[in-house]
Amino acid sequence: MRLKIAIAFCFSLATVFAQSQLPQADVEKVRGGDLTFQPVTHATMVLSYHKKNIYIDPTGGAEAFKGLAAPDMILVTDIHGDHFDLKTIQAINTNKATLVVPQAVADKLPAEMDKQKLVILKNGDSKNLEGVSITAVPMYNLPEAADAFHTKGRGNGYVLNIGDKNIYISGDTEDIPEMRALKNIDFAFVCMNLPYTMDVTQAAQGVLAFKPKVIYPYHYRGQDVNTFKSLVNTGDKNIDVRLRNWYPAAK
């Protein structure tokens, strides 16, 4: 009995230690229970609700997700390596996971992957999976150009409805008209890093246009998120700007 207790205690400590390496998670009360936002790194996060786990742009290998439950769903926004990391997808436990991707990502999946668990969405498409409503929305650079880092229609941002709350995940975008036109967004994750997406001023202007209740800057390597927060709250003090450490390994 003592041995079993000791083993259980050690396992518990290992789990806590693993979870402690992750950035701070936020837990929100929503209809039907708790919704957890767990940043992992850069553009990677995990959303959890009713014991269902949604991995967004998983990168970093299996090690990055120590202490977290296996995914029930994986959403990928774009083909670039900081969003679509095939080695990570193959390394984590995807036995029960549905993979939601744009066509450009689907085209890069190996033939041996289980296509029965693949859902391809283009901009404007919607799908209900695991009790979650998913709408794919545009993400692209301005001005539009054939040689842009992100061309219109290739990748997806996503609006998820979970527990009666709307969550916007921008993917790699600038403050495009489709983002500015969003309505009733409760939680938003908006990118900002040059030269691939936009700077903090442009991101703040876009956020002030669609006015989410809560905004998390993410995908912000090299940008001053404190300036972003100041710009947003100068424009609208009612928007809750939450700064989290998406780069916990950075020195």
Q: Give the whole-angstrom CA distance, residue 19 versus residue 156.
A: 29
Q: Give the whole-angstrom CA distance, residue 221 versus residue 192.
A: 8
What is the CB neighbour count within 10 angstroms for residue 51? 8
DSSP H stretches of helix in 22-98 = 86-91
Q: Identify whether the C-beta of residue 198 lies closer than 8 Å to the C-beta of residue 178.
A: no
Q: Identify whether the C-beta of residue 220 lies closer than 8 Å to the C-beta of residue 82.
A: no
DSSP code of residue 70: P
Res 130: pLDDT: 87
* Interval 102-154: pLDDT, tens: 999 999 999 888 777 999 999 999 999 989 999 999 999 999 999 899 999 99
Compute, in degrees rounded to 10, the torsion defined by CA atoms 85, 207, 215, 71. Answer: -30
* Interval 26-60: pLDDT, tens: 999 999 999 999 999 999 999 999 999 999 999 99
Question: pTM of the predicted model, to two decimals?
Answer: 0.90
- pLDDT band for 20, please (50, 70, 90 cuts): very low
Residue 237 structure tokens: 């003090």
pLDDT at 236 > cutoff 90? yes
Q: Give the whole-angstrom CA distance, residue 145 versus residue 167.
A: 28
Residues 6+ apart with CB under 8 A from 116: none
Percent of the chain with pLDDT over 70: 91
- pLDDT band for 250, please (50, 70, 90 cuts): low
CA-angle at 19, arms to 16 and 20, nearest 5°: 85
Q: Which domains does the chain have, with CATH numbers?
A: 22-241 (3.60.15.10)
Judged by phi (left if over 0) then psi (alpha if -120 to 50, else beta), residue 231 lies in: alpha
Rg of the chain (C-alpha set): 18
pLDDT at 86 > cutoff 50? yes
